[in-house]
Amino acid sequence: MSGLTAPQADSPLASWLSYLEQLHTSAIDLGLDRVQAVATQAALTKPAPRVITVAGTNGKGSTCAMLEAILLEAGYRVGVYSSPHLVRYNERVRVNGQELPDSDHSMAFHAIEQQRGDISLSLFEFGTLAGLYLFKHHQVDVVVLEVGLGGRLDATNIVDHDVSVITSLAVDHVDWLGDDINVIGYEKAGIFRADKPAICGQPQPPASVPAHADDIGAQLYQVGYQFDYQVNGDRWQWQSGAFTLDNLPVPSLPLPNAATALMALATAELDISDEHIANGLAKASLPGRMQVVSTSPLVIMDVAHNPHSAEYFARQLAHIKQRDSKQRIHAVVAMLHDKDIASTVKEMHEMVDVWYPASLTGPRAAKAEEIIGHLAPYVDGDIVAFDTPTEAYDTALTQAGPEDMVIVFGSFYTVGQITSHIEGQ
């Protein structure tokens, strides 16, 4: 876009983000030609000796968090790139488990600006390149990359990575990936590499996933075949071939993703012990995923934003309610209109006693009235619409008793707004 002046290397991060938001005509622009050209020019396609790339409809963030925790326990310097963020842009890049200061991001953005010439980059593409630059700058041993959207045409796919991971497969991002599960499988399998490990944690994936692995000669490790796991009370067991890990702690993050993460590490040619795995799983956590922010009443936030993730969230809530004898569940929900709102609330309705639907803002935002329309088959009587998630959350807290539960879900934006609200109190 003409007329824009790039900030300097020491400019505030907010100035850089404002500049980048105006730089490209589209927030999402799938395709690798432009970002590949800049990455090659800047020598960013191999940001660390080992790189693990993680795609999937749900579970990417938790899988990355568990990989990170185990690798840190093993003494590696670890870089993690993830998106979107909940509150601060800095959340998207972690080095050794820590966010980096604003000045590092501004420096990295300036470095990419110097390399791109007249090539236009979206904010995500620019941010991906800046993240890779930061990982090289901080000389990490292992990089864990979370795919933003799809896989084949996502900016993260420019990287020469060593292990590919698909956590789960379901219909989502219909505007960009369509509603054909085989097409979605093909797009996500686009991160596979010839002669390199390709891990799939989705039971019975669409045929396009193993077919693509076979076509390019990737080494496919499929849950239920090349690796598997069993739960035994509050412990679990993982196995691949003749190798077994017993008596592992059940993590706070989803167990299927833990099993998938272990298969990725088993193929990554890294020095990791059973003790590193057990300690890392016990410590792994991720904001916005089954995140407890209060105990009286119990308040849990989760970014569940599609039927697949809502079904898992509902199952976890059922366990908590049964174990702790919680009385009523008050649900604050706000979503984007391009998500499957009807099926998402359908997965949740049996768990929820009182609904607090709220409107988000922006071009993709769903209004509270739209959510209410999808709730109508499950609720007798009127439902109050709230202008913002924070207004809905404050009302839910006043209505919930000490033995009740308040849940917040529906979008990263929803959880992010409530997180900011709580931090500002």
Return the exposure string of 148-181: e unless at least 16 CB atoms fall within 10 Å of the residue's CB, then b. Answer: bbbbbbbbbbbbebbbbbbbbbbbbbeeebeeeb
Indicate the pLDDT class of residue 112, thresholds 50, 70 and 90.
very high
- Domain 13-283 annotated CATH 3.40.1190.10: yes
CA triplet 356, 357, 363: central angle to 5 degrees? 155
Q: Let me know if 414 is exposed, middle or buried by CB neighbors in 10 A (0-12, 13-18, 19+).
A: buried
- The whole-model pTM stands at 0.92
| Rounded distance between C-alpha atoms, residue 142 and residue 127, angstroms | 19
Indicate the pLDDT class of residue 23, thresholds 50, 70 and 90.
confident
Q: Are strands 219-222 and 197-200 parallel, antiparallel or unpaired?
A: parallel
Contact between 235 and 244 (Cβ < 8 Å): no
Return the exposure string of 28-39: e unless at least 16 CB atoms fall within 10 Å of the residue's CB, then b. Answer: ebbebebbebbb
**Domains of the chain, residue spans:** 13-283, 291-423
Q: What are phi and psi of 106, to 5 degrees?
A: -60, -40
Answer positive or negative: Cα dihedral of 151, 143, 272, 218. Answer: positive
Answer positive or negative: Cα dihedral of 201, 207, 209, 214. Answer: positive
pLDDT, mean over the chain: 94
Three-class DSSP category at 382: coil
Indicate the pLDDT class of residue 173, thresholds 50, 70 and 90.
very low
Share of the chain above pLDDT 70, in %: 95
Q: What is the pLDDT of residue 1?
A: 44
| Rounded distance between C-alpha atoms, residue 111 and residue 133, angstroms | 8
Does pLDDT of 177 surpass 60? Answer: no
**C-alpha of 9 from chain center:** 29
Q: What is the pLDDT of residue 116?
A: 95
pLDDT average, residue stretch 86-92? 97
CATH of domain 291-423: 3.90.190.20
Express each pLDDT in 36-72 by its tens digit: 999 999 999 999 999 999 999 999 999 999 999 999 9
